[in-house]
Amino acid sequence: MKVLIVGGGGREHAITWAVSKSKRVDKIYAAPGNAGISELAECVDISVMDADKLLSFAKEKEVDFVIVAPDDPLAAGVADVFLDAGIKTFGPRKNAAIIEASKAFSKDLMERYNIPSAKSVTFDDVNAAKEYLNTVKLPIVLKADGLALGKGVLICNTLDEALAGLDEIMVDKKFGDAGNKVVIEDFMTGREVSVLCFSDGTTILPMTSAQDHKRAGDNDTGLNTGGMGTFSPSPFYTDEIAEFCEENIYKPTIAAMKAEGREFKGVLFVGLMLTPDGPKVLEFNARFGDPEAQVVIPRLKNDIIDVMEACVDGTLDKINLEFEDNAAVCVMLASEGYPVSYEKGFEIRGLENFKDKDGYFAFHSGTKWSNGKVVTNGGRVIGITAIGDDLVSARANAYKATELVDFDNKYMRHDIGKAIDEQ
C-alpha cells in the first residue's frame, strides 16, 4: 500500500513512524514533511492547503491511502477533495471538521444535545458582547470562533481585560476572520485532560488519555503555545470518569454529528475539564493533538493503518483498540522566544543518539535539511518522547534524553508532568 501523509509537524512525524511500522505499507509520501519525517518517507514540497496539487500528486503516484492530519486543510475541505476523487482518506470532511473550525457551532451542538460544557453565549456584534460582559462573573473566557493557531482563547481576570480582549478579537481582528464571532464562556476550574478518539461516524473508540502543557513557561506561566509537552496516561482520568465521558460526551457527540448530517470520520479530540461538577468539554478538535500524538501513538499496539482504514470504511466496531500498559512523556524543545519571535536555521546536534534507541523518540516539529545538516525551522523544534513503566520513570527518561540533543537558543519547560507528583 502507498500512503500519503499531509502535514509536516511533530504529530505527522509520530503518525509517519506508526505508519512505517505497518506491514501493509510499502511506500510513504509526506507533504511537505520535515527533516525527521524524511528519514521514513519521501517528502514532497506541496503545501497542505494546495488540494489540487496534492490530488495530482496522489494520482500520479497511485497513492492508496491519504491521511490529512492538520486542522487548516481539514477545515478547508482537503479530505473532501481526495474522497470525492475516490481515494481512501483518513480525516473528517469539511462539514464535520467544523466541530473544531467553529467554536460557535460546537457550543451550539453541545447545548442542543445536552453534552456537558460551560455556559456560553455567542456574539457577532462587539457592542452586544460588551454589554453582556457587564453581567458575567469573572474570570471569563473569550474564544474567537474560528481557527487561530491555538491562540484564540483569552482568559480574562478583570472586566477591563475582557473589554480589551473583545476589541483585539472583533475590532482589531488579531486573528483575522476567526474573530468575526466570539464565544463568551464561563470559566471552569479543574484538571485538563485530552482524550483523542477514533470514529467511523457511528462507532467511537477513545484512545488512552493525555495531558498537554500549553503555557510557555514553568508553572504554567507565560503565553499560550501550541503545547510545550505532554504525558500519557493522565492519572486523573479514572475508569469511572472514562465511563461517564463515553456515555455522556463521546457517544452523544458522534450521534449528534450524524443526526446533523455531518458524519464524523477521523480523530475527534475531546479537550476535557474535570470540574467539581463532573467532566465537561473545553473544546473539540477534528484531528490528533500535537504534542498529544507524540505520547499516545507510541503506546498504540494496533497497526495504525488497520484502525484508520476501519474509520474510513465504517467498520470500527470490528477493531479491538489496545495500548501498552506503560507511560510516555514528551518534552518539547523549542526556540527561545517562542511563541512570539525566534530565530531559525541553527544546526541540531545529537539526533543520531535516537537511532534505534528503543523507547525514545525525537519527533521533529520544526526542522529542515540545509546543506546536509538538520536545522531549526520553527518555534517548536523537536518533541523528545520517552517511554517508562510508569509516569515517573517516563518523565525521568524524557528529561535525560533532552540532554542528547542540542541547538542554539534551545528552550524547554522543566516541569512537564509535574502534576503526576500530586496524585
Chain positions contacting ligand GLY, by CB under 6 A: 150, 212, 227, 285, 289-290, 292
**Do 198 and 267 contact (CB within 8 A), yes or no?**
yes
DSSP per-residue codes, 59-112:
HHTT-SEEEE-SHHHHHHTHHHHHHHTT-EEES--HHHHHHHH-HHHHHHHHHH
Nearer to ligand GLY, 150 or 359 (CB): 150
Q: Residue 14 Cβ, how far from ligand GLY at the closest point, in Å?
A: 12
Q: Residue 289 Cβ, how far from ligand GLY at the closest point, in Å?
A: 3
31 φ, ψ (degrees, to nearest 5): -130, 115
Nearer to ligand GLY, 106 or 285 (CB): 285
Question: How far apart, in whole angstroms, are the C-alpha atoms of residue 402 and residue 404?
Answer: 5
Q: Residue 305 Cβ, how far from ligand GLY at the closest point, in Å?
A: 22
Nearer to ligand GLY, 17 or 284 (CB): 284
Q: Residue 283 Cβ, how far from ligand GLY at the closest point, in Å?
A: 8
Q: Residue 371 Cβ, how far from ligand GLY at the closest point, in Å?
A: 32
Nearer to ligand GLY, 87 or 334 (CB): 334
Nearer to ligand GLY, 288 or 323 (CB): 288
CA dihedral 18, 344, 232, 215 (to 10 degrees): -150
**Three-state secondary structure along 205-243?**
EEEEEEEECCEEEHHHEEEECCCCEEEECCCCCCHHHHH
Indicate the angle between helix axes 10-20 and 304-313, nearest 10 degrees: 100
Question: How far apart, in whole angstroms, are the C-alpha atoms of residue 66 and residue 216?
Answer: 33
Q: Residue 226 Cβ, how far from ligand GLY at the closest point, in Å?
A: 6
Nearer to ligand GLY, 292 or 309 (CB): 292
